Chain A
Amino acid sequence: DADVTQTPRNRITKTGKRIMLECSQTKGHDRMYWYRQDPGLGLRLIYYSFDVKDINKGEISDGYSVSRQAQAKFSLSLESAIPNQTALYFCATSVDRGELFFGEGSRLTVL
Chain B
Amino acid sequence: QKEVEQNSGPLSVPEGAIASLNCTYSDRGSQSFFWYRQYSGKSPELIMSIYSNGDKEDGRFTAQLNKASQYVSLLIRDSQPSDSATYLCAVTQGGSNYKLTFGKGTLLTVNP
Binding site for B on A (CB under 8 A): 31, 40-45, 48, 50, 58, 90, 94, 96-105
Contact = CB atoms under 8 A, between A and B. Distances in A.
Contacts of B34: 98-100
Contacts of B49: 97, 99
Contacts of B32: 97-99
Interface in B4-27: none
B97 A100 contact: no
B103 A42 contact: yes
Contact of B44 (A58, A94, A97, A102): A102
B98 A50 contact: yes
B5 to A, nearest CB: 11
Helix, strand, loop or mixed for chain A's interface?
A: strand
Contacts of A40: 104
Helix, strand, loop or mixed for chain B's interface?
A: loop
Contacts of B45: 102
B46 A101 contact: yes
A43 B91 CA distance: 12
B46 A99 contact: yes
Contact of A42 (B41, B46, B88, B97): B88
Contacts of A101: 46
Contact of B42 (A45, A48, A50, A105): A105
B74 to A, nearest CB: 15
B90 A45 contact: no
In the A-B complex, list the 10 residue pairs whose CB atoms are closest, starting with the nearest. Answer: A42-B104, A102-B43, A43-B102, A98-B92, A98-B32, A98-B97, A42-B102, A105-B43, A97-B32, A102-B44
15 contacts: A40-B104, A44-B102, A48-B99, A50-B98, A58-B99, A97-B49, A98-B96, A98-B97, A99-B32, A99-B34, A99-B49, A100-B44, A101-B46, A102-B45, A104-B42
